[in-house]
Amino acid sequence: MHIHILGICGTFMGGIALLARAAGHRVTGCDMNVYPPMSTQLGEQGVDLVAGYDAGQLTLTPDLFVVGNAISRGNPLLEAILEQNLPYVSGPQWLAENILQGRWVLGVAGTHGKTTTTSMLAWILEEAGLNPSFLVGGVPQGFGVSARLTDSPFFVIEADEYDTAFCDKRSKFVHYRPRTTILNNLEFDHADIFSDLAAIETQFHHLVRILPGNGLIIANAGEASLERVLSRGCWTPVEWFNGVGGWQAREPDASGGFEVTLVGNVQGRVERFELPGAHNRANALAALAAARHAGVPVAVALKALASFSGIRRRLEVRGIVRGVTVIDDFAHHPTAIRVTLEGLRQRVGRARILAVLEPRSNTMKLGAMKAQLPESLADADAAYCYASNLGWDAGAALAPLGDKARTFDDLERMVIAVVADAREGDHVLIMSNGGFGGVHDKLLAALAL
């Protein structure tokens, strides 16, 4: 079957493309904004890409169009598909019907940490010899691809609460029907589709309603929002982490290693751990508990976590020039920005951190979280905000930071300012959920002059 994917360069839809190819389908796709790592990954896997969404792509005559949730009514290719009554389906529905059916699905849901936790869980199962299939919203370093299809009964998936498609406004994760489910955390996000936190909690409740009685929910005890979700009805056993009644991580040693307890009883320790911050230790606990439900002994999971090397675009060092380290991270929600900076601060000590931020997500563009930005940037020594095309005044929002923060409407001017301020030993942390105009390479090139 020939499948043509609309919005193929999104992390999720790009993963769908890889899975479809592995299942034996011919895959092509189109997108407007193409940037690494997904564009690179698709090219390496032999997927042909078309730039834009012109209706002329109907001449490719695919058997099925798979439509990503970034595609809205008014898109010329989508309108042509509808007008000619051609077969189409959403990405999550195609995945559920063609790949996930009959498998033991391990889903990772939550506002933050989904990609990291999903990657950790897939890595643990891999090291345990279970050869899992997976779909991750990023590229785990140990695998080199964001999605993989194997003959294993286990499938690990990043379970996103964002809506499914123009034709299906349910959250993506209700399609996946997981047996093992991680509820990592829950905050307000996606202001473009959810009116408030209660609306998101309702979607999580819908997920809980479809989980089987022989499954397992692994939930963060530190999140009152998750307690509210589960109090609305739960028919599945629950294990908690980040609380005295469940899994806990003790303080790390110099190598990042930490001891793990369950209801106060020591289960063992992760001898070394490359990912900094309490939030990443919490992610590890969730992955460990989920892997145990799939049959992985705790000792095996602890050993696997010690060899986990992270994910691209999660505190990924892009280069070091003249003693200045340029780091890339996907953080875009204020909480993610805060914990990312806290984790980096733990790693670099008193060295200066120059935070370069692009408020690019729909939530941030709407200004729903602007009041939280100053506090989220507290661990940075200086902050540079690329404020082009925002519907709110970034300078006013960051005013509580005083001279520590500067805003720019021009990317080149911002690069010049960062390079002028940077000195040997500094860490430049770039945070965006998009390509950010190639600012990483621009900074590295300018630093080398």
pLDDT 10s digits, 138-156: 888 888 888 999 999 999 9
CATH number of 2-93: 3.40.50.720
C-alpha closest to that of 310 among 118, 152, 57, 119: 119
Query: What average pLDDT does the segment 228-249 reach?
Result: 94
Question: What is the pLDDT at residue 311?
Answer: 73
pLDDT band at residue 281, thresholds of 50, 70 and 90? very high
Instruction: Name the band, by pLDDT with cuts 50, 70 and 90, for residue 55.
Output: very high
d(CA 357, CA 426): 16
Note the pLDDT of residue 190.
67
Is residue 305 scored above 90 in pLDDT?
Answer: yes
2 falls in which pLDDT band (50, 70, 90)?
very high
State the average pLDDT over residues 337-342.
88
Whole-angstrom Cα distance, residue 289 to residue 169?
31
Tokens of 383: 């902050």
- The predicted pLDDT at position 314 comes to 78
Low-confidence winner among 40-54, 102-116, 208-222 (lowest mean pLDDT): 40-54
Q: Is pLDDT above 80 for 36? A: no
Does position 367 have pLDDT exceeding 80, yes or no?
Answer: no
Residue 291 is predicted with a pLDDT of 98
| Average pLDDT over every residue of 348-366 | 85
Q: What is the 3-state secondary structure (H, E, C) of the chain?
A: CEEEEECCCCHHHHHHHHHHHHCCCEEEEEECCCCCCHHHHHHHCCCEEEECCCHHHHHHCCCEEEECCCCCCCCHHHHHHHHCCCCEEEHHHHHHHHHHCCCEEEEEECCCCHHHHHHHHHHHHHHCCCCCEEECCCCECCCCCCEECCCCCEEEEECCCCEEECCEEEEHHHHCCCCEEEECCCCCCCCCCCCCHHHHHHHHHHHHHCCCCCCEEEEECCCHHHHHHHHCCCCCCEEEECCCCCEEECCCCCCCCEEEEECCEEEEEECCCCCCCHHHHHHHHHHHHHHHHCCCCHHHHHHHHHCCCCECCCCEEEEEECCEEEEEECCCCHHHHHHHHHHHHHHHCCCCEEEEECCCCHHHHCCCCHHHHHHHCCCCCEEEEECCCCCCCHHHHCHHHHHHEEEECCHHHHHHHHHHHCCCCCEEEEECCCCHHHHHHHHHHHHHC
Least confident segment among 79-83, 297-301, 437-441: 437-441
Predicted local distance difference test score (pLDDT) of residue 37 = 64
**Whether residue 368 has pLDDT greater than 70:** yes
Judge: domain 316-448, CATH 3.90.190.20. Answer: yes
CATH class of 102-306: alpha beta
Banded model confidence at residue 419, pLDDT cuts 50, 70, 90? very high
pLDDT in tens, 86-118: 999 999 999 999 999 999 999 999 988 899 999
The stretch 224-235 carries a mean pLDDT of 95
Please, which residues bridge with residue 286 across strands? none
State the average pLDDT for the chain: 91
In the structure, what pLDDT confidence band is assigned to residue 331 with cuts at 50, 70 and 90? Answer: confident
273 CA to centre of own chain: 20
Dihedrals φ, ψ of 325, to 5°?
-95, 125
User: What value does the mean pLDDT take over residues 416-429?
Assistant: 95
pLDDT at residue 383, rounded to an integer: 94
pLDDT (mean) for 157-185: 94
- The owner of tokens 């939550």 is 110
Look up the pTM and report it: 0.81
Q: Where are the domains of the chain?
A: 2-93, 102-306, 316-448
Q: With a cut of 90, say whether residue 162 has pLDDT above it.
A: no
Place of tokens 């473009």: 192
All residues at 6 or more sequence positions from 198 whose CB lies less than 8 Å from its CB, including other chains? none
As a dihedral over the C-alpha atoms of residue 157, residue 432, residue 319, residue 140, rounded to 10 degrees, the angle is 0
pLDDT at 274: 82
34 or 116, higher pLDDT: 116
Give the pLDDT score at 46.
84
Half-sphere exposure of 163 (CA within 13 A, CB side): 17
Contact 120, 284 (CB under 8 A): yes
Residue located via tokens 């499954």: 215
Mean pLDDT for the stretch of residues 65-75: 96
